[in-house]
Every structure is written in C-alpha cells, then in structure tokens.
Structure 1
Amino acid sequence: MIQKFLLPLAILTLTGCATSQMSRDIAAEPVNVRVIGLNDFHGNLDPPKQSAEAINAKGERVWLPSGGVAYLGSAIDSLRADAPNNVVVAAGDLIGASPLSSSLFLDEPSIIALNMIGLEFNALGNHEFDRGIAELKRIQSGGCEKHTLAVPCRIDNPFPGAKFKQLAANTITENGSTLFPGTALKSFGTGKSKVTIGFIGMTLKGTSNLVSAGRIAGIKFATEIDTANALVPKLKAAGADAIIVLIHEGLFTKTSHSDPQCTGVSGDLMPIVDGLDPAVDVVISGHTHWAYTCDYANINPARPVLVTSAGVRGQYVSAIDLKIDPVANKVVAKSARNVVVQSEAYTRARGTVAINTEFPVFSPRADLAELAKRYADAAKKEESRIIGTLAGPATRDNNAAGESVLGNLIADAQLAATKDPAMGGAQIAFMNPDGLRADVNPNPDGSVTFGSVFAAQPFSNQLVVKSFTGQQLRAVLEQQFINANWTRVLSPSEGFRFSYDMNLPVGQRILAMSLNGVPIRDDQKYRVAISDFLSTGGDLFSVFVSGTDAAIGPQDIDAMIAWLSRGGLTALPKLDRVENRTATQ
C-alpha cells in the first residue's frame, strides 16, 4: 500500500520539477521592445519642403522629400506594426520656433497631433519654455486660460492638453520639487516574461541661457549627470530592467544618420554620456538638429550605450530595438536606425526631389492630414497678409565677418522702433544670429507677407533698451567668441561699426568700435536695444544683464512690420558694419 501511494507521488513531484524548469526556460526568453524616438519637431505639421539625407545600397548619399505630421504618423504606425511591444518617446523642442500654422495657435495643433500619434513621454527642451511656465503647464493639462498675448483655443475649444507626460528631472522649482515628474516606467509582457523600462527626462542645463529669464522665473536647471545618476538606482529599485535617458542635448557627427561608428563625433552631450551610470542603456537626444544612431562603445568602450537623435522637423524617426532578459533584469542586445519619413508632398509642391523607391514611401494618415489642413487653412489669411515691401531676399547667409542681410535688417528695424525717447531712446541695436529662423523672401512685386516675417522671428520677444558703458559694449562683443565651437557674431544697427581679429587672445579680439564715425569711449554710456532674451543673458551674452535704466519697447515682430511698412521699397542693408581682420590678413 505504501509503495502504491509513493509511486504516484514521486511521478507528481518529478512532473512538478519539469513544469517548474519549463516555466523558467520560457521566462528566460528575452522580450523584444521597440522604442520609437522623436525630437525637435518644432510644430512642423506640414512637410517642411526640405529634403533629408539617406544612404542607398551603393553607399551613395541621396536626398529624399520628407516630413509632415501625417507622414510621420504613418511612419510610426509602420514601426509599431511589427513590434507589439513598443513605446513612442521624445527628447524635447516639440513646440516653439514653429511654423505659423502651429505657432499662431500657441502650438495647440502640434500637441493634438502628437496625442494622435501616440506619444507617451517627452523630456522638456528649451523651446517648451518659450511662452513661460504658466503656458507650459496649460500645454500639459489643457484648458483655455490666457497666459500670452495670443488667444488660446481659437480652433479646438477646449484645448485637451497633452495626453503624454512631460518629464523634467533637472528642472527645479523654488520649493525644490521638479516642474513635472522626472521619471516614468512602462512595462511589457506579463508574469515571468514581464519587463520594465525606466525613463529619465531632462533638458540641457544651459536652458537658462536660451530662454528669457522672466519666462522661467523661479526655475533652476540642475546638472544632467548628477540628476540622472541619482535617479538610476531608484528606477532599478522600482523594477526597471532597462534605463533610457531622454535628454535635450546633442551631438554633431561627420557621417550618415544611421552610422553606428559615429565618425567625427563632437558636441556637449559627450561628457554627459561619459559620466552616466553604466546602467543606462540608451540615450535619446536632440537640440543640435543632427540625426545619428551612435554605438557609443566605439567612442568610449566603458560606455556601451546607444545614443540616438531623429534630426529635426519630423523628417526622421528613430527605431531602437531592445532585447531584455526578464530573469537577468538587463538588456542583452540593442540596435538603432533612423528611418527617413519619405513623403510625396514636397515633390508634388516643388518638383525638385524625386521619390526614391529604394526607401519606404509613407502615405499621409488621413486624420492627421485633416488636422494639419484645418489649421493651415485657419492660418492662411493671416499668413498671406501684406505688411510691407523689401527690395530683395533678406537671407541669413553670413559673410566672412559673420554679418547677414537679415540680421542687419532686423537690427535697423529694432533701432527705429526704440530710438524715440518715449520708447527708450536707443542709439544702437543688436540682433543675435540664432534668433534668425528663416529668410525673408518678398513676392515678385517686392511685397512681404506676415507669414514670411513671422517665420524669421517666431519668438514674440519684447524689445528692451538698456544703458551700457563703452567698456561694457566691448565686453559684450568679446563674448561673441567665448565658445570656440560656436561663434555668434551680433548684427549691429546702421551707424555702429566694429572690427575683430581672431588671432588675438580670447578677451582681446575687439579692435575698434564706433558710432556714426565717432570712436566708442569706455567711460561714456550708450542706449542699446536688444530682445528680452539677450537682455537676460541669452546665448551666453551675460554682460547684457548688467545694463541699467531698462525701458520696455514693442515686440520684435511689430518693430519689423513697422520698418517694412514705412512706404516705398525698403532697401536691403549693406554688409559693411563688421570687419574680420583675421580673414583679410
């Protein structure tokens, strides 16, 4: 009797062991997850009429028509189709510095479009702060409360807000908390095959130099490395099997958009990646508008992390494939590629770039196309409004000294708008080159539209007039050259001249300055018109903060409209205000 009882029990025990082992074997299979990455969309609902680079099967560089939110949506849908475990994330600047069809409506349509695409997490970029903290909170939560000069909810009322989560791990408020959550978790699979990805979202620490101080009052931006490394163990403790950093900072490369070698890599993101906790598996980045998929182990073997960026304007989308072991709780394989969002729209509109059938051609997603058209139609009347005249194209192209026709034109407009004592009594105006976002191209008859001017100056900056000594002006101009990798030559208004020599030591490169032919005196004060962005130290021009007797002028775009609408054909300024003596030696 005992033997008859024990035999079935032994069989049952063995069967249980086999079932348990089989369960472990099944659980040990890696789980495939596709992370779909975006960055620097900048409200480009319509195809931007700019081509994107691709490398064909022969290794040749070709250019493809690309972009547009309807095509971007289709591209993302195609990447989801063969990857059931997927998540769509972004690395900032989804809004701000946007075309008129988005910016005129406070970028509400871009947020609605990104909701429709299925975006889940976005790390704040510097341009998310362009309209201030209160407006950024409305963008997240929705509603029609007015925080800017523009009226919200003009087309979609009420505005629903972002269904995706903004992440802001290093954006610290006055009470020490983060402006939005710093991290997020997403799980895939079930039971023993469940895996979890932890996300850390950050903007660049230098955001305070890129946004007017009044729009980020009370906000500090913490160091990226320290912020991320402090959060990694917390995410691991919460069950994260993989860690992805979403960061609005980036790289430059000298290779194609999907070359894992990342040949010729440079950029401010490098020391950040070098300093990250080794538990970080992927860094999805932005800000430089460069497209890349770097296997960073080729650069620093101690940091075998993937670093990706999808360029700008939705012309690429990053497909990042991870194999995650749910038993070992880690990523066991990873790869990344950038997909060109090839569309037909640019070809139909311009006829200059041919569809390349070697690469996928995406059809526009109907619901997104309808949204883009609805807002484009609403903006068209304002966009086509004639506001003045111009004798020819005002381009951003720099001469050997760093001057541009557009920069000088805007500086002249800003001086004219603020020279009246009641508007600040300006004697000089400066325009920063990074604030020039598009050329101003008049119609054949010389007429200029609001849309063209708005595209050149989309930030709605307020003009500020401050007093500076000649010595301070010299210090400001020296700051044009403090970043060895990114010289920023200011465009001066008519009457102001300066020269420089890059062969001289840093801080001693300005040779001469004059106003209306009279040398600038170190001890004399001058009234200078600048944007509120520069006034608060934007683009690293910190000396502008020290100006005194501030007076508020009109908005920059209003100054430009007034300048172009004076009557008669507005002449283009000459490029004779800045002299680079280095280039002439």
Structure 2
Amino acid sequence: MRRSRWVLAVLTATTLAVTMTAPAAVAAKPKTIPIQLLALNDFHGNLEPPQGSSGSITAIDPSGATVAVPAGGAAYLATHLARARATNPNTLTVAAGDLIGGSPLLSAAFRDEPSILALKAMGLGDSSVGNHEFDEGSAELKRINWGGCHPVDGCFDPPRRYPGATFYLAANVLENRTKLPVLPPVSVRNVGGARIGFIGMTLEDTPSVVTAAGVAGLTFLDEVRTANQYAKLLRVAGVEAIVVLVHEGGTPASQVYDYDCDANGPGSGLTGPIVDIAKGLDPSIDLVVSAHTHQSYVCTIPDPAGKPRLVTQASAFGKLYTDIDAAYDRRTRDFVRSSITAKNVIVTRDVTPDPTVAGIVAKYQGLIGPIANRPVGYIAGTILGRGGSTPERPLGDVIADSQLAATSPAATGGAQLALMNTGGIRADLVYPASGTEGDGVVTYGEAFAVQPFNNNLVTLDYTGAQLLTVLQQQFTGVNAASPRYLQISANVKWTADLSKTGADRVVADSITIDGQPLDLAATYRVTVNNFLAGGGDGYLELANGTNPLVGQLDIDAFVAYLTANTSTSNPLTPPPLTRIAFL
C-alpha cells in the first residue's frame, strides 16, 4: 500500500477515535500534564468472580509468606477502576486483547455481548484485538466491535440494539480482499490537553492458535514492523506520545504479582516473545502494554536507543489492573519517559460492587440460570486444569478420557486414543463448589467454563509414525521455546527425557497404546478437537490425518462423561498423573 493510503488509514482512525476532555481552567498552565492509564488484558468474559486458581493472585503477606489472594469479578473491577480514576481527571482505560473468547457460559451463551457491555460501563476506551477475538471469524469480530444483532441468534435484548464495543484496534491484521486493517489501526485520545496515540495489535502467530475458519481471509503482520510504521505516521500527524497495546507477552521469573522484574538489571526477570518485540520497537514509542501469557509484570526493557521503556501485563480474568502514571510535556507534546511509572493492583473483593456492572451481570445470570445451575456430575476434590503446574494435568486426563469414551464406539468414530491440547482447558473443577448447589456438585456452567469453545470432536486415521511426530511437535517449531504437552487418554503412556532437547525429548520406544508398543507402520484411529485437527498449537502433523469423522461438541462429551461416571456415592477423584513419565 502506498504511504498516502497508510496516512489516510491512520488519520481516518484518528478522526473516529478522538475524544475531547476539556482541561480545567487555570491561571497559568503547568509545564506538564499528569496522565493516568489503567490497563487490562485477557479478561476472557469473566463477569463473575473466577473460581479456584483462576480466581486468585499470588502475593507476599507481611510475614513474608506466599499467599493466594481472592481476586476478580467484573463488578469489583469496575469499583477499583472508578476509585483509581477519581484520583486523576486525566485518566484513560485501555486493554491489550482477549477480552472475549474462551469465556464462561454467562458471557459465551450471549456471544460475549454482556462482557462488552460491562467493559464499556467500566470506561474502557481502547483495546487491541487478541487471538481469541478471532475465534468466531472476522465478520463476527466486526459485529462485536460495531454493533448489531447476531445473524443467527438475533437480539438477546430486543428493546436495545447491541451497541458494539467500538474500542478494538487491529493495526497488524489485514483483510486480504482490501489490503486494509480489518479494524482501525490506531486511536488518538485528547485528555486534559494531552494528545496520546495508541497502536493496537495481536500476535503475528495468531493463525497458529486459532482455527483456520477464524482467521480465513486475513493476514497477520510482524508486530515490530507494524508498530514502527504506525508510530512514524502518528508523528507525521503531530502525535508524539505513543503507547503500544499488543497481545503478546512473556513470563516473569516469579509468580508474585508485584515481583521486582528489574531487581537484577533492567528486564532481567522477564523472558518470552515480548522481550524481543520491545527491543525492536521504535524509540518514539513510550510504553508497551502486553498480554496473552496471563502473567503479572512491570519490567524495563531498553529501546533500540538504549533508553529505558516500561513493558507491563496484568495477569488475566480481571484479577489485576495496571496503574500507569506519566507526565506529558506541553512543549514537546510527548511523555517525559523518565516520569512513567507503573504498578499492578489486585482487584480485591472487599469493596462494594459497582451497581451498574453488577446489574448487567445479574440480568444475564437470570437469563442463563436454569441452564448454568443444572447438576451434571460430582467430584471428591479439586481437579486442576488451567491452574495445574505439571505437564500432565488431572483435568486434562479426564477430558481426554471423556473424548475417547464419546468416540470409541464404531458408530461415533472407532477411536483407539484421544489427544487434548492443554490450552483448551480453561478452568479447574473446584471443590467445594462456590455456588449454592452443594459441595462436590459440578454444574453445567462449571463444566462449560472448563470447555467453552464448542469445538467438534474429530476422529481420524494416523500412522504410528505420524503419532510419533505429533508427540515430538510438543517440543519443536513454535513449541520449541515453551513446550506444550498434549493431554492423553488413559490407555496411552510415554516417557519424556528432559536431559535432551527438541524432538529427542520423546523416548520413542517408550510409547505404548493399550499396553502395546507403538507400531510405526500401523494405522490408529485418534480423536482430537477440530482446532487440533487443523494443526493448531503447532501440532502440524495432526492436519495430515485421513478418513475424518466429525462428531459431537467437546463440552457435550465432557458433560456426558461426568454424568455417566459419577454420582453422589461415586464422585470423581483427581486421577494420578501416571501417563507421562519423566527422566
């Protein structure tokens, strides 16, 4: 695209996104304007307080002990943001994507519209898209952003037309047909006399973590080149204070939410893709708000000119927000970089819930209650999924077993084993349950929180050699830097040699199915979800299966398994982690 068209796109987005806040009248204007940014990420439709490990933040108490602090809940988050906003009239609330998608039933059942309404009520002004914003494809993302009723489900609140988010930015996502960004690339906000530009992006590797249908017709560009290009154009438009909202992240050395990332030198406590991205972003960019890895950090990563620049992330699910303060120089029209400070703040539940957001939540709770509260199973203890820290997750074992049970009959696939991606497990099954249904009861809403994507199960043919390649891909390609372990059904065993690297970590002659060594020449019927069947999460060999049979939804298989195999007298216990052995 010619430079003039890029400028037009930027100026168009700028015109659409500018909001005016009149500065207070003063006799003599100070040299700088105090600016506050409140930043969120990875909300994932968690309107209700998330439960289990998904609903707590790791902190250090006054005695020095590590504690888990209950956190999150949209109405509590709204109160905390309002209180922070009250300390500075020059405040903007921003986010870095995955605000929807992978959501609990309360939000997902209504196409995540309740979450958008709640976030708008909280004052969210700009957000990058994340990979999960593309779960339902670009047409649905446009509807979510610009408003209107769902083309199939219609209007969930007929008296009121869904207004749309209007806050999403997608600088590095182009529509193949037009070669233009699928949504506005930038926003410029005027607050208290300061003009601040925001560039919103998702990770370039979004196609590897979203179904092919979700990203059809789109091209995802390099984050650094895109941000630098738009930073230059913003400066041409007279905007010097620039913030990048990017849905990519890193991993801090400590899980304590306020860990000093720079204790051993700038950025020494952070690893992952965001580090290289931050190092490559143009020095004119003043701040990076990141996401995707569901971590908490405030780190200093030097820009290409060697100047310190903050990179932040606020965990996930609305459990934290990042409070960022900066001085805006009226003369240079830019942030004073040395003035920028940030801290992550826990969204505690000891405050009065915001009545407006609480009302939104209550409204949709009333609509979905009869479905969400239906008992579907029983557990004897907490079964960790999302909150597990081991490569093999107890809940991953249960899910894989449920998928094999659903597809092992000849009529539904004739599956001999099942494989499940860890990233598709979105919650834990918590005991005792937090609701009113009684200890150990699993409701449909709780089960849906674990498996919220409505993926179809697909049973395909693979040779033993292909299965070996699939297991090796846990440690190669996009998974080389951070291995992604597959969850496996109970009849599969294999050993990982952690003294090796890459594909060599899989001990080939350790793999057994139903107690028999893997036969590289034999053909096996294998069940996966449709995301994995398309080669998602870097398991590219899974896209080469043959003779596919598409079956029921994964959530239906999970619920059916719990219902058939548990009762009040026979609750499900956390399975032992014996399917993957480690050298």
Normalized against structure 2, the TM-score is what? 0.84
Residue type of the alignment partner of 1:408: D
The answer to whether the aligner puts 1:32 opposite 2:28 as a matched pair is no
* CA distance in structure 1 between the aligned counterparts of 2:526 and 2:280, rounded to whole angstroms: 41
Residue type of the alignment partner of 2:318: G
* Aligned twin of 2:549: 551
The answer to whether the aligner puts 1:524 opposite 2:518 as a matched pair is no
Task: Give 5+ residue unaligned stretches, structure 1.
Answer: 1-24, 345-361
Residue type of the alignment partner of 2:522: Q
* Aligned twin of 1:515: 513
Change (3 A) 1:323 1:366: same
The answer to whether the aligner puts 1:455 opposite 2:454 as a matched pair is no
* Aligned twin of 1:170: 172
The answer to whether the aligner puts 1:409 opposite 2:398 as a matched pair is yes
* Aligned twin of 1:580: 581
SS of residue paired to 1:229: helix
Choose from 60, 82, 86 the match for 1:77.
82
* CA distance in structure 1 between the aligned counterparts of 2:406 and 2:447, rounded to whole angstroms: 16
Change (3 A) 1:330 1:531: same
Residue type of the alignment partner of 2:190: S
**Deviation per residue, 1:268-297 (Å, 9 max, x gap):** 100000011011100011112122222334
Change (3 A) 1:400 1:470: farther
The answer to whether the aligner puts 1:498 opposite 2:481 as a matched pair is no
Residue type of the alignment partner of 2:507: I
Q: Mean Cα displacement is larger for which, 525-534 or 411-420? A: 411-420
**Deviation per residue, 1:2-55 (Å, 9 max, x gap):** xxxxxxxxxxxxxxxxxxxxxxx9677122221221111121222235333456
**Deviation per residue, 1:359-405 (Å, 9 max, x gap):** xxx32221111222222233322122123455665433999983333
Change (3 A) 1:490 1:57: closer
* Aligned twin of 1:305: 309
Change (3 A) 1:520 1:58: closer
SS of residue paired to 1:368: helix
**Deviation per residue, 1:70-115 (Å, 9 max, x gap):** 2222222222223222211100111122222222222111100111
* Aligned twin of 2:364: 375
Q: Mean Cα displacement is larger for which, 110-119 or 313-322? A: 313-322
* Aligned twin of 1:12: none
Alignment of 1:277-296 (within 5 A): 277-296=282-301
* CA distance in structure 2 between the aligned counterparts of 1:375 and 1:399, rounded to whole angstroms: 30
Residue type of the alignment partner of 1:162: G
Change (3 A) 1:573 1:551: farther
Q: Mean Cα displacement is larger for which, 84-93 or 469-478? A: 84-93
* CA distance in structure 2 between the aligned counterparts of 1:164 and 1:294, rounded to whole angstroms: 30
Is 1:88–1:120's contact at 8 Å kept on the other side of the alignment? Answer: yes
Change (3 A) 1:300 1:337: farther
* CA distance in structure 2 between the aligned counterparts of 1:114 and 1:568, rounded to whole angstroms: 38
Change (3 A) 1:370 1:294: same
Residue type of the alignment partner of 1:199: F
* CA distance in structure 1 between the aligned counterparts of 2:130 and 2:99, rounded to whole angstroms: 8
* CA distance in structure 2 between the aligned counterparts of 1:74 and 1:488, rounded to whole angstroms: 37
Change (3 A) 1:58 1:524: closer
* CA distance in structure 1 between the aligned counterparts of 2:268 and 2:561, rounded to whole angstroms: 46
Change (3 A) 1:477 1:327: same
Q: Mean Cα displacement is larger for which, 331-340 or 34-43? A: 331-340
Report the alpha carbon displacement of residue 471 of structure 1 after superposing the two structures with TM.
0.7
Choose from 458, 471, 475 the match for 1:477.
471
* Aligned twin of 1:269: 274
The answer to whether the aligner puts 1:419 opposite 2:419 as a matched pair is no
Change (3 A) 1:230 1:383: same
Change (3 A) 1:574 1:289: closer
**Deviation per residue, 1:326-354 (Å, 9 max, x gap):** 3223222322222222222xxxxxxxxxx
SS of residue paired to 1:277: coil
* CA distance in structure 1 between the aligned counterparts of 2:240 and 2:566, rounded to whole angstroms: 67
* Aligned twin of 1:5: none
* CA distance in structure 1 between the aligned counterparts of 2:441 and 2:342, rounded to whole angstroms: 47
Residue type of the alignment partner of 1:340: I
The answer to whether the aligner puts 1:440 opposite 2:436 as a matched pair is no
The answer to whether the aligner puts 1:431 opposite 2:427 as a matched pair is no
* Aligned twin of 2:345: 339
* Aligned twin of 1:13: none
Structure possessing the higher radius of gyration over alpha carbons: 1
Report the alpha carbon displacement of residue 539 of structure 1 after superposing the two structures with TM.
1.6
* Aligned twin of 1:18: none
* CA distance in structure 2 between the aligned counterparts of 1:311 and 1:541, rounded to whole angstroms: 27
Is 2:386–2:426's contact at 8 Å kept on the other side of the alignment? Answer: no
Is 1:27–1:326's contact at 8 Å kept on the other side of the alignment? Answer: no
* CA distance in structure 2 between the aligned counterparts of 1:96 and 1:479, rounded to whole angstroms: 26
Residue type of the alignment partner of 1:457: Q
Choose from 328, 331, 342 the match for 1:327.
331
Residue type of the alignment partner of 1:425: G
Change (3 A) 1:100 1:419: same
* Aligned twin of 1:540: 538
* Aligned twin of 1:95: 100
- Could you say what the CA RMSD is over the residues aligned between the two structures, in angstroms? 2.9
Alignment of 1:389-400 (within 5 A): 389=378, 393-396=382-385
SS of residue paired to 2:328: strand
Residue type of the alignment partner of 1:396: G
* CA distance in structure 1 between the aligned counterparts of 2:366 and 2:224, rounded to whole angstroms: 45
* Aligned twin of 1:250: 249
* CA distance in structure 2 between the aligned counterparts of 1:260 and 1:83, rounded to whole angstroms: 27
Is 1:401–1:579's contact at 8 Å kept on the other side of the alignment? Answer: no
Change (3 A) 1:27 1:57: farther
The answer to whether the aligner puts 1:239 opposite 2:231 as a matched pair is no
Is 2:149–2:162's contact at 8 Å kept on the other side of the alignment? Answer: no
Change (3 A) 1:445 1:125: closer
SS of residue paired to 2:414: coil
The answer to whether the aligner puts 1:131 opposite 2:136 as a matched pair is yes
Report the alpha carbon displacement of residue 313 of structure 1 after superposing the two structures with TM.
1.8
Is 2:281–2:304's contact at 8 Å kept on the other side of the alignment? Answer: no
Report the alpha carbon displacement of residue 300 of structure 1 after superposing the two structures with TM.
8.3
Number of residue pairs matched by the alignment: 533
Residue type of the alignment partner of 1:458: P
Is 1:28–1:327's contact at 8 Å kept on the other side of the alignment? Answer: no
Change (3 A) 1:29 1:573: closer
Residue type of the alignment partner of 2:395: L
* Aligned twin of 2:13: none
* Aligned twin of 2:224: 225
The answer to whether the aligner puts 1:315 opposite 2:312 as a matched pair is no
Change (3 A) 1:505 1:312: closer
SS of residue paired to 1:131: coil
* Aligned twin of 1:180: 183
Change (3 A) 1:375 1:226: same
Change (3 A) 1:419 1:159: farther
Is 1:144–1:158's contact at 8 Å kept on the other side of the alignment? Answer: no
Q: Mean Cα displacement is larger for which, 77-86 or 179-188? A: 77-86
* CA distance in structure 2 between the aligned counterparts of 1:554 and 1:397, rounded to whole angstroms: 23
Change (3 A) 1:396 1:316: closer
Choose from 123, 137, 145 the match for 1:140.
145
* Aligned twin of 2:460: 466
